[in-house]
């Protein structure tokens, strides 16, 4: 019986199980690309608005990062953080991590963590990196409590996330949040359709160049897109 596994952060499928059965496919987000695109957003923001972001004028991007989970899909959280920072460094921008907090993909935990970090570091924080938009929204709400990110352009700390949930899109449009990256649902639907048709014998599936597939062609990582106002 053919099986298509899907992963959206809640469950991490063992790739060895997929590889052990030639009628199994695994479709999941490309966490590496998500991190790289998030890093690219910050590179563009820094290069275009360095005078306002680099508040202490030391030519270093001081940031805090809100990570997903320690046990639940920790690899996805690690990849998003790792490749985001790598992309910023590769662009020639110096960075300094002030703090990293595991917030388990939760708005409430992210809000509380950001609140505490603002009390601790104050205006030393120049950028907030969140592994998903739910945590990014929590960070924005904490920043607003401290007088930041009201959308009036006076006191602002760029916040970036991943997923493009409705509340984060609203925050971006209002100027509360800098940007996000997201997985196009049409791309995901097409991938599931094509693999299902292949497994039913109706078409031959070959990994498109915009996807990232392993050597078997059955573990398929789908691309992300950027979103800014």
pLDDT at 17: 85
Q: What is the pTM of this model?
A: 0.89
Residue 141 pLDDT > 60 = yes
Same domain, 110 and 100: yes
With a pLDDT cut of 90, the percent of the chain lying above it is 76
Mean pLDDT over each residue of the chain, to the nearest integer: 92
Residue 13 sits in the same domain as residue 71: no
The confidence score (pLDDT) of residue 76 equals 79
> Per-residue pLDDT tens for 39-59?
999 999 999 999 999 999 999
| 202: containing domain | 3-31+183-228
Average pLDDT of the residues in 7-32: 81
Closest by CA position to 193, among listed 30, 13, 181, 185: 185
Q: What local confidence, expressed as pLDDT, does residue 10 receive?
A: 44
Same domain flag for 178 and 192: no
pLDDT at 196: 95
């Amino acid at each position: 019986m053919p099986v298509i596994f899907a992963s959206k952060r809640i469950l991490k499928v063992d790739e060895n199980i997929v590889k052990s059965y030639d009628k199994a496919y695994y479709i999941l987000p490309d966490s590496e690309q998500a991190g790289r695109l998030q890093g690219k957003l910050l590179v563009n923001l820094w290069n275009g608005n360095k005078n306002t972001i680099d508040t202490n004028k030391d030519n270093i991007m001081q940031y805090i990062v809100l990570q997903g989970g320690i046990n639940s899909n920790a690899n996805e959280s690690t990849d998003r953080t790792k490749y985001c920072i790598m992309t910023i460094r590769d662009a020639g921008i110096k960075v300094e991590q002030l703090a990293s907090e595991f917030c388990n993909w939760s708005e409430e935990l992210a809000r509380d963590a950001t609140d505490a970090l603002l009390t601790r570091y104050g205006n030393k924080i120049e950028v907030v990196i969140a592994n998903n938009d739910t945590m990014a929204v929590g960070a924005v709400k904490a920043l607003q409590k401290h007088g930041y990110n009201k959308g009036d352009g006076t006191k602002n700390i760029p916040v970036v996330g991943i997923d493009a949930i409705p509340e984060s899109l609203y925050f971006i449009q209002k100027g509360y949040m800098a940007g996000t990256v997201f997985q196009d649902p049409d791309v995901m639907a097409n991938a599931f359709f094509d693999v299902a048709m292949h497994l039913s014998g109706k078409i031959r599936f070959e990994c498109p160049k915009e996807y990232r597939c392993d050597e078997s062609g059955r573990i398929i990582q789908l691309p992300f897109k950027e979103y800014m106002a």
